[in-house]
Structure 1
Amino acid sequence: MAHRKVTIIGGATILLTLAVSLLFLNGCGSSSTLPPTPTPWPTPIVVQQSTYTVTRGSVTDYIILDGRASPVYWDPLYFKVDGKLSVLNVSEGQFVRKDDILAELDTKVLSDQLAQARLTLEQAQNQAQQQQASSKYALERARLTLRMQELTLEKMRRAAGQGPTPQLTQAQAELERARVNLQRAQEAYDAVASRPNVAALPQSAALQTATIDYKLAEARYMQALSDMDSQLAMQELQVQLARLTVQELEEKANAAGGSDVNKAQIQVDALERQIEDRRLRAPYDGQVVAIGINLQGLTKAFAARPKVGDNIAAYAALVVIAKPEPLEITVDSSQKRVSELYVGQPVTITHSAWARPFSAEITALPVAMSDSGNQMAGGQAVHIALPRSAPPMANGDPVKVTIEAETHRDTLFLHPAAVRRFAGRTFVVVQEGDKQRRIDVKAGLENSEQVEILSGLNEGDVVVGP
């Protein structure tokens, strides 16, 4: 109306100017005065208001939510230790192979320690090889010496023409038992020799007793030899000593350098594990779908983009990797009316690039809405399984999810434009002759095309739009 008023005033001004000009010209050409021509006013334009008729039919309440295509199988990846980020090798959307290193924490100190530990291991292995070679040759010489002593003893016995006496045989057996007992006692003592209180241990007393028994047995044996050729007795002792030497060298050869090598290898393995704990590897072939500090689920939400030098907490998700297929539709649980959904509820999925929508079904609800509460971490979304007939889509594709929440049949409804709301009041305007009257109504279900009228109007009533 204001615009129309400005137009009328502008036209009257022009007409008035023309009238004055004509009067001035007439005054100049003639002395007679003509009456002024009246200025015509424009006919006001009557704005036609839209009208709507109360109709009977079905009204459906639709829940319309935003969703997106998401991977069914995904995993949050995290470091097991705290540290500073030194390398980030991937970006969102990148495809990776199994065991690819996605990110690394600072390992400079550990790498230096590992290099030193590997050098120590190499030195221990070289020393062990040298000891084994030396022990091998010494053992072989001892075995040859033993064989030579045994041959000499056999030759001397044949020369003597008879075997040892019963007394000598008994003394020899006792000496052998004493030697075996002494050997066992010595081995038991060697096993605990590194302990600080070794003198108080029973192994120490047992070694002393075995030593004394061996000395006594040796004395008795020597006494028994008094009746035999001293050279034959000495040769038997030489054989026994040669045997002891072979046994000692065999034991040393088995343990040559092994302890030092094992210790060095353990140190290397421990440092390698610590470095590996500071590497984030892909558990399978997949796609990086999110990167951020302390990620929650598949989306970054408020997670900050990590930078080299940032402190990364242990067990805080840094990268989310997913298998490209299969996909599902997920709906963020923060949207309105999500609490009204239930598992098994049918839905309709639409996309701007698809010619037709398709039907699907809700398969899982957010953790907060789950009865069992045992869904996987990060399950703060509604999950909708895709049927085989679904059109092709990619991870992250946006979709609209429509759910028929409730339908009332054989009910009255109006177009939403006919229903007015102000200050908590819901009403319509009806035309009665040349007058309009406001009528309060009670609304029920609503959608983009319908508002259910529960009371206040009758079928066929005509309502004036705004």
Structure 2
Amino acid sequence: MKTKPSQQQTKNLPSVHSLAAYYLLFLLLLVACGSGETVVTNPTPTPLPTPIIPEKPTYTVQRGTVVNTLEFTGRASPMVEQNLFFKSDGFVDQVFMQRGDRVRAGDVLAQLEITDLENQMALAQVTLETAETKLSQAEQAQQDALAEATINREKIRLELQQVHTHSDSATLISAQIELENAQQHVVNSEYELQKSLDRDWEPED
């Protein structure tokens, strides 16, 4: 059961307007105190970032081939180089090799125009055949002369034998002289034949 406050108790309680006035006065006092003194505040420290730990990769160990590849640029050059040239002047007619082809010693790389050389070779061949023919004819002539001298020597030898039997001393002396001449002719023919065989061939101009 509630009882109503008495009139005397109601007078002793502060009113709403009085409470508001006290609150306003309290705020004014706080403002007055704050304007007279500088309030020093410490700066807020910057927080350090938390380090991020990277994740380490995980590898599976197994047997295999380790390949180390190197890429670079360069120029390949031969260890030994040879300067090639033709022994005679002329114009290049054909080239049988290209740059980068593999060659060996003795391979024909290029060829000059050989029309003039072919003509000279043909002329030299004709000259050689002519000289060989003349040499053969000369050798045959020497052999014929040697054979004829040998026959004459034998003929004179027979005549000399007949002279010993039927002729006088003068005829004998004459026959001996003819025999000596025939023998010398045979010797000369043999010498000329051997000299023609030993002579080096020289083409005629």
Normalising TM by the smaller chain, what interval? 0.5 to 0.7
> How far off its partner does 1:84 sit?
1.6
Q: 1:79 to 1:102 in 2, by over 3 A?
A: same
**1: distance between equivalents of 2:145 and 2:88?**
50
Q: 1:144 to 1:97 in 2, by over 3 A?
A: farther
Structure 2 counterpart of 1:250, from 145, 168, 190: 190
Partner of 2:26: none
Structure 1 counterpart of 2:174, from 234, 238, 244: 234
Partner of 2:94: 87
Q: Contact conserved, 1:131 with 1:257, CA < 8 A, in 2?
A: no
> How far off its partner does 1:256 sit?
4.3
Amino acid at match of 1:262: W
Is 1:99 aligned with 2:38?
A: no
Is 1:125 aligned with 2:65?
A: no
User: In proportion to residue count, which structure has more strand?
Assistant: 1
Deviations 1:401-458 (A, max 9, x none): xxxxxxxxxxxxxxxxxxxxxxxxxxxxxxxxxxxxxxxxxxxxxxxxxxxxxxxxxx
Partner of 1:76: 83
Q: 1:147 to 1:92 in 2, by over 3 A?
A: same
> How far off its partner does 1:83 sit?
2.3
**2: distance between equivalents of 1:75 and 1:123?**
42
Structure 1: which 5+ runs fail to align? Answer: 1-64, 161-227, 268-466
Q: 1:129 to 1:257 in 2, by over 3 A?
A: same
> How far off its partner does 1:99 sit?
2.3
Q: 1:131 to 1:81 in 2, by over 3 A?
A: closer
> How far off its partner does 1:125 sit?
0.5
Taking the TM superposition and a 5 Å limit, the aligned residue runs for 1:136-147 are 136-147=143-154
Q: 1:230 to 1:150 in 2, by over 3 A?
A: same
> How far off its partner does 1:92 sit?
1.6
Amino acid at match of 1:94: D
**1: distance between equivalents of 2:137 and 2:194?**
13
Q: Secondary structure at the match of 2:135?
A: helix
Which structure is larger by alpha-carbon Rg, 1 or 2? 2
Q: Contact conserved, 1:156 with 1:232, CA < 8 A, in 2?
A: yes
> How far off its partner does 1:242 sit?
0.7
Partner of 1:264: 203
**1: distance between equivalents of 2:173 and 2:162?**
13
**2: distance between equivalents of 1:141 and 1:127?**
21
Amino acid at match of 1:264: P
**1: distance between equivalents of 2:130 and 2:197?**
11
> How far off its partner does 1:115 sit?
0.6
Q: Secondary structure at the match of 1:150?
A: helix
Partner of 1:279: none
Q: Secondary structure at the match of 1:76?
A: coil
> How far off its partner does 1:100 sit?
2.5
Partner of 1:357: none
Amino acid at match of 1:77: L
**2: distance between equivalents of 1:98 and 1:145?**
63
**2: distance between equivalents of 1:81 and 1:137?**
46
Q: 1:120 to 1:258 in 2, by over 3 A?
A: farther
Partner of 1:134: 141
Q: 1:130 to 1:81 in 2, by over 3 A?
A: closer
> How far off its partner does 1:111 sit?
2.0
> How far off its partner does 1:147 sit?
2.9
> How far off its partner does 1:139 sit?
0.8
Q: Contact conserved, 1:128 with 1:258, CA < 8 A, in 2?
A: no
Determine what percentage of the aligned residue pairs are the same residue.
Answer: 26
Deviations 1:158-207 (A, max 9, x none): x48xxxxxxxxxxxxxxxxxxxxxxxxxxxxxxxxxxxxxxxxxxxxxxx
**2: distance between equivalents of 1:154 and 1:94?**
86
Amino acid at match of 1:230: A
**2: distance between equivalents of 1:254 and 1:104?**
44
Q: Contact conserved, 1:124 with 1:257, CA < 8 A, in 2?
A: no
Taking the TM superposition and a 5 Å limit, the aligned residue runs for 1:41-440 are 67-154=74-161, 156-157=163-164, 159=165, 229-256=169-196, 262-264=201-203
**2: distance between equivalents of 1:148 and 1:124?**
36
> How far off its partner does 1:247 sit?
2.5
Using the size of structure 2 for normalisation, the TM-score is 0.53
> How far off its partner does 1:232 sit?
0.5
> How far off its partner does 1:127 sit?
2.2
Q: Secondary structure at the match of 2:98?
A: coil
Amino acid at match of 1:82: D
User: In proportion to residue count, which structure has more helix?
Assistant: 2
Deviations 1:263-322 (A, max 9, x none): 229x9xxxxxxxxxxxxxxxxxxxxxxxxxxxxxxxxxxxxxxxxxxxxxxxxxxxxxxx
